[in-house]
Amino acid sequence: MHQHILVAVDDSHCARRALNEAVGLASAFHAKLEILHVIDYSFLQYDFGYGDFTELRPQLTAAGESLLKEAGEIAAAAGLEHHETLIDDLATMGNIADRVNGYARTCSADIVVIGTHGRHGLKRMLLGSVAESLARDCPVPVVLVRDDSPARTAERPVAQK
């Protein structure tokens, strides 16, 4: 069924859960796993006054490469054929969903796995949702893996009886 699975990762708990889900799917289907990290330059949309960001870009690149290396090691430990890709483009300007969507088309993925923080209300409106945008526009099925970290669980309202 699925022969080429794309997972988009960042340094969040829900992204680690998405990676684990993608590894499980790739193992079950004997599929190739494509691991993608897009450097988030959304902060460039805001005016911070005078600043020198020349040292920041190499740090973001190194962090992305480290993240991909860790993810690749997890895939290798599961015995999966995999490939890691880093997208480092200042023009991304926070539009990560478009980059993931474009890469899904380029690499011919037949399913995309991505973590979601499950934000709602004002937090979602202010922060946006990469996962929601991707699910809405992606030409292939998208598996959303929800964050279940203790901090996230504590935010959820308790049902009243």
Distance, CA of 12 to CA of 119 (rounded, Å)? 14
What is the per-residue pLDDT for 160? 44
Place of tokens 């539009």: 95
> What count of other Cβ atoms lies within 10 Å of the Cβ of residue 91?
8
Determine the Cα–Cα distance for residues 75 and 80; give it in Å rounded to an integer: 5
Q: CA end-to-end span of the chain, whole Å?
A: 43
Helix spans in 8-146 (H): 13-29, 56-77, 96-106, 121-127, 130-137
Contact between 17 and 148 (Cβ < 8 Å) = yes
- One digit per residue, the tens of pLDDT, for the chain of length 161 reads 789 999 999 998 989 999 999 999 999 999 999 999 999 888 777 766 666 677 788 999 999 999 999 999 999 999 999 999 999 998 888 789 999 999 999 999 999 999 987 555 544 443 357 888 888 888 899 998 987 755 544 444 444 44
Q: Yes or no: is domain 4-33+64-149 CATH 3.40.50.620?
A: yes
* Angle of CA points 118, 123, 127, to nearest 5°: 90
Whole-number pLDDT of residue 48: 63
pLDDT at 118: 59
H or E element, residue 154: helix 150-155
pLDDT at 27: 97
CA 62-150-35 angle, 5° bins: 35
What is the per-residue pLDDT for 68?
Answer: 98
In three-state secondary structure terms, 83 is: strand
pTM of this prediction?
0.84
Domain spans of the chain, in order of start: 4-33+64-149
Q: How far is CA 155 from the centre of its chain?
A: 22
Give which of 159, 140, 146, 143 is closest to 120, Cα–Cα. 146
**Which secondary structure element, helix H or strand E, spans residue 82, and what is its range?**
strand 82-87
